[in-house]
Amino acid sequence: MRCTKVMQELSNYLEGNLDETLKQELCAHLSGCNHCQVVYDTTRKTIELYCDGELYPLPTDVRNRLHDVIRRKCQPQRT
């Protein structure tokens, strides 16, 4: 699994909306990719803090904006 796929599926993973095969692939990627692990941890902790320790499904528009920002941050910087 590539980092871009992880970013696309991150919200689904956090919400528990992945089939078992995709979940295992994503977990395997997270265990070996420090960058994606940091994004995952930060996103999860932000949601937990915002929701007083409970995961909360993000509204669609917020989730889409979050995905857009994450995708832009994951793209190589142009010089």
Any residues with CB less than 8 A from the CB of 7 and at least 6 apart, and which?
Answer: 36, 39, 67, 70, 71, 74
Q: What is the pLDDT of residue 1?
A: 84
Q: Across the chain, what does the average pLDDT equal? A: 85
For residue 51, the number of C-alpha atoms closer than 13 Å in the C-beta half-sphere is: 12
pLDDT at 56 over 70: no
Give residue 49's pLDDT band: very low, low, confident or very high (50, 70, 90): confident
3-28 tens-digit pLDDT: 999 999 998 898 888 999 999 999 99
Q: What is the pLDDT of residue 78?
A: 64
Q: What is the pLDDT of residue 68?
A: 87
